Structure 1
Amino acid sequence: MYKRKLFYFGLTTAFFLFLALLSTAISSHLTRENLLQSNIAHSLLVEHEKLSSISYRLFKQLTDEIIFGQNANQAYVRKKQNLIQQSLNQIKKLEIEQRKALGISFTKGSIEDTDELVRMIDEITIEFRAVVSSGNKAPLNQQAQLKRLLEVTIDDQFREAINSAVARQTRVVTAINAKMDMLNTTILWFAIGLGALSIPLILYGCYWLFNQLYQPLILIANATNSIALGHYQKPISVKLDDEFEELATSINQLALRLQEHENNAIQSRKQLEQEVKQRTSELTEANLLLTKIDSRRRQFIADVSHELRTPLTIIRGEAQVTLRMQSVSVDDFNQTLTSILGQAVGLSRLVDDLLLLTRAEMNQIGLEVLPTQIMPLIRTEVAKWQKLNLSRSIACVTHSDLDDLVVTIDTQRIQQVLAILFDNAIKYSKSDQPIDISLHKTESLITITIKDHGEGISAAEVDNIFERFVRFSKHSEGLGLGLPIAKAIIEAHDGSISVISTQGQGSVFSISLPLGHV
């Protein structure tokens, strides 16, 4: 219903606006046409006056030729004739435009009179040439032909023709100005009448529309204030127009939903408090873990400092002792240099391990991968560690169909991983206990397992075994970098490493690598 009221109001306003725009467009078009006609008429008037002035100057110079000789003012005469021709061409052009704009009845005789002026100027020029060519020696005031030319043709006929053209253009200008004044007066009174009719109607329509809109807005404002104060029980109960009725229904539904949300918010707040309490507990545990990690980091720094200090102290001591000796044999020098070299190699290995872990954190481990048969590689490592530990049984259990199995790996890095796992298995098991190596294949992975029968690893140590600087509590050798290095190398191959251990029964380390084909 309110939409229909708005439609009627808009239609009435649009009608008056259309009338105003239409009258403006018509008045602008008529004004532009009148201004164009006025400009043409003024230009014609100016050109006629200009033609009159140039023509009389031409006649004077032709008269001077009679007095002073035929060649007295030839250049000036030609110049004036050119100017007259230009002025006549412009007059003809403007008269044609004026006739197209105003019609033949309004401009009757203008083009014909111009043709007569052209003919008259040409005749006057020819008569002047005839007088000059006649060679009459009589006084000028006694030459009948010259006297008739000056007094009759120029003073009477030409002057009357040019004055008639100027007077005609003056009348045209006056008529156009009067037409423009009448048009402006008509537009003014039309605008006054349109304003006097439309303004009261529009003001009344605005007042009526405001009254129709004010009551629903007051009801809606009161309803929203009630909702803001927490009163949600049907804040709008009065029947409104169809458009406002939909809004009132929406506001009532909003109030009910707000009440539901408020009830849910109370429940959510309680649940949130419980979750915050739980998260606080988790953060406390995480903080303790970070404290533990920081403690390990500090211990690592201390261990690294100790590991670095020991070889550096030995290197410095060996060098100082050798330098203090009064006489040093070649054997002494060799012994000193051998000791220094051994310590330097150990330092280099420690730095390489730290650098490898740093690159692993930055995903910048450089691998030189090639398709490689895995079984010869494993057998070579087994033979090497068996040779170093003759009293221990190191057995490799596999199937013959895996002898030609190919994986794409960095051979030296995988050898480094196997060496770390073999060394740990030997280190953390007794010398008479065996070590078993086996190889298993699936569709996309190859798994290498290394099993020892040592003391095993506690559950607490298993969780942290692949972290840096972690060392088993019963052993103090090493810096705890071997297994983290092994994990970094395997993960750089897109593989994984895991451990299963039971205290008193030993440990099983498993390496899984993606298969590669030649």
Structure 2
Amino acid sequence: MYKRKLFLFGFISAAVLVVALTGVAVSAYITKENLRQSATAQSLLSEHQMLSSISYRLFKQLTDELIFGRNANQALVRNKQALIEQSLRVIRELELRQRNELGPDVTPGSVEDTDELQMLISEIITEFNAVIAMNDSTPLRQQERVQRLLEFTIDNKFREAINAAVSRQSKVVSATNARIEALNSAIVWFSIILCVLVGPFIVFGCFWLFNQLYQPLTLIGSGTQIIASGNYNFRLPENLDQEFHSLVQSLNQLAGKMAEHEQQEETMRQQLQIEVDQRTSELTEANRQLTLIDARRKQFIADISHELRTPLTVIRGEAQVTLRQNNPGVEDYRTALETVLDQVVSLSVLVDDLLLLARAEINQLRLLMDDVYLVDMLENQVEQWQRKMPLRAFRLDVDGLAEATGEGLSEAPLTVRADEQRLRQVMTILIDNATRYSEPDSAIDIVLSATAEQVFVRVVDYGTGISPTDLQYIFERFVRFKPRTDGAGLGLSIARALIDAHQGEIYAESEQGQGSVFTIVLPRQADE
């Protein structure tokens, strides 16, 4: 029953809405057409006024030619004639459009008068040209032809023609505006009548629908709030109107299913908690095993340094060869001992390097922190390497440091908080690496610069450079890009470990054929 009433109310409301929308659409279309016609009429009136103004200025310029000579205003005359022709073309287009829109009854004689107006303007211009061509020396006020042209043709005939066109078009504009005003009044009265007739119906219908819906919707709304609050045992009464019967049944079924789901959820939650606890225990044990394995791996790296057999094999071979000789001399013993000593030194260095890396991995690398004067340390490094390789140029550049501080180095020596011995070790590794991978006669530059927070030390060589593929592995262990180069390939790994221990950064930049740049970045923790 309620559904039928609702459909009836909706049908009547839709019909009223269709009528109203149809009226609005028709009114909008008619208003649009009237506005377009009004715009055309206004434009045509403006063009007539413009034509009048341009024509009178042209006549004045032609009169000036009569007074001052034939060539006095030729450019201006041609310009005005072009403007008049353009204005006439626009007037014809607008008049044709206006006649098509309003009909010949509303616009009588408009198109024909324009043709006559054009002929009159042409006649006036032709008469001016004829008078100018006569080149009569008689004063203008005594020339009858000129007086007739100015007083009769222009002042009377042309003025009446142009004023008639403007007056006719003004009437068209007034008629169009009056029609728009009448239409607007009709629209306003239509809207008022529609509101008076439809308003009470809508108010009454809404009030009736509200009363019909309020009670069941209130009951259903309160019941759904109770169910939403978690009371899934609540049930809505099923004695409401037929339209709400299926909705009430669905809500009651939903409440029953949610009660079942809540019970199942609690069971699954308990089961999931048991499984989570079990998996957590397994993950804890797995993590402990991984930690143990990682500790063993690090220990293995530390122990493997003591198991390097190559130097020991050489030592053992030298000892065995010497002992097998029947009567070894002092020179034989010296040679064997020197070989043993070289291998022992190499083995000791390798073991120290491996132990350093192992300690760095397990954060057991000890640093003796102190204030380090970087300029003095770097100058000492340059002097040592210059004595060691006199044929190669080692250069220290501190110009960037002086620019950054704004003071002389003697006035503000640059210091950092670091382990000086380890920094020397890093510089030795980088400079040695630069000499290995560059020509013997090429220079090595050490560049020192600083900012307010950081210090930058760059070691620049001009060697063969490093390929982009190899550059990403440059700080890995046992990496050597020239197989014949001495060393185990641990130098750059050690340098990175030492710089990391100083909370710094080291990185490499290189282009093949142009050399490489290794940059050390240290935090500036000490006062200058």
The TM-score normalised by the length of structure 2 is: 0.50
Question: 1:202 and 1:106 mapped to 2: Cα distance?
Answer: 44
TM superposition shift of 1:39: 2.1
What amino acid is the match of 1:115? D
Deviation at 1:43, TM superposition (A): 1.9
Q: Which residue identity lines up with residue 120 of structure 1 in the other structure?
A: L
Q: CA deviation digits over 1:119-153, x for unaligned, max 9? A: 11222223333334455555434433333222222
> TM-score, structure 1 length as denominator?
0.51
Q: Which residue of 1 aligns with 2:514?
A: none
Residue of structure 2 in register with 1:189 after alignment:
189
**Structure 1: how far apart are the matches of 2:287 and 2:58?**
116
1:178 maps to amino acid: A
Structure 2 match to 1:121: 121
The amino acid that maps onto 1:195 is: C
- The alpha-carbon distance between structure 1 residues 139 and 236, as it changes in their structure 2 partners (threshold 3 A), is same
- Identify if the C-alpha distance between structure 1 residues 246 and 62 changes in structure 2 by more than 3 Å, giving closer, same or farther: same
> For residue 204 of structure 1, what is the amino acid of its counterpart?
F
2:204 aligned counterpart, secondary structure: helix
Give the CA deviation at 1:87.
Answer: 1.6
Provide the secondary structure at the position in 2 that maps to 1:42. helix
* Structure 1 position 87 matched with structure 2 position 93: no
Q: Distance in 2 between matches of 1:235 and 1:49?
A: 81
Query: Cα distance 1:194–1:277, how it changes in 2: closer, same or farther (>3 A)?
Result: closer
Partner Cα separation in structure 2 for residue 43 and residue 322 of structure 1:
117
Distance 1:278 1:43, change over 3 A: closer
CA distance 1:142–1:253, change in 2 (3 Å): closer
1:168 aligns with 2:168: yes
After superposition, the Cα gap between the structure-2 partners of 1:7 and 1:135, relative to the gap in structure 1 and judged at 3 Å, is same
Residue 36 of structure 1 corresponds to 36
Residue 108 of structure 1: CA displacement?
A: 0.9
1:240 alignment counterpart: 241
For 1:254 and 1:230, locate their aligned partners in 2 and report how far apart those are by CA, in whole Å: 12
Instruction: Sort the Cα spacing of 1:205 and 1:153 in 2 relative to 1 into closer, same or farther, 3 A.
Output: same
Alignment of 1:467-486 (within 5 A): none
Q: Identity of paired residues, percent?
A: 44
Quick one: structure 1 residues 204 and 288, their matched pair in 2 at CA, closer, same or farther if it must change by over 3 Å?
A: closer
Q: Could you list the runs of 5+ residues in structure 1 that have no partner in the other structure?
A: 338-518
CA distance in 2, matches of 1:235, 1:304: 73
Q: 1:330 to 1:295 in 2, by over 3 A?
A: farther
**What SS does the aligned partner of 1:87 have?**
helix
Alpha-carbon spacing, 1:64–1:237, altered in 2? closer, same or farther (3 Å):
closer
Name the amino acid aligned to 1:13: S
| Whole-angstrom distance in 1 between the partners of 2:125 and 2:277 | 118
Match of 2:100 in 1: 100
Maintained 8 Å contact 1:236/1:252: no
Shift, 1:258, TM fit: 5.4
**Structure 2 counterpart of 1:387:** none
Mind listing any 5+ residue stretches in structure 2 that lack a counterpart? 341-528
1:216-265 per-residue CA deviation (whole Å, 9 max, x = no partner) reads 123324544665675848541413233x1101222333455556667778
For structure 1, which segment, 139-148 or 117-126, has the greater mean C-alpha deviation from structure 2 after superposition?
139-148
**Structure 1 residues 205 and 68, CA gap change in structure 2 (3 angstroms):** same
The equivalent residue for 1:462 is none
- Per the alignment, residue 52 of structure 1 pairs with 52
2:213 is the alignment partner of 1:210 = no
Whole-angstrom CA distance in 1 between matches of 2:33 and 2:275 = 87
Aligned-residue CA RMSD in angstroms? 4.8
Corresponding residue of 1:482: none
Per-residue CA shift, 1:261-317, capped at 9, x if unaligned?
A: 677789x58x967x9889979998x79997997999799999989x9899789x979
Partner SS state of residue 209, structure 2? helix
Distance 1:49 1:33 in 2: 24
Deviation, structure 1 residue 68 = 4.1
Structure 1 residue 73 displacement after superposition: 3.7
The one-letter amino acid paired with 1:117 is L
1:309-355 Cα distance to aligned partner (Å, 9 max, x none)? 99789x979969997x9x84449999xx9xxxxxxxxxxxxxxxxxx
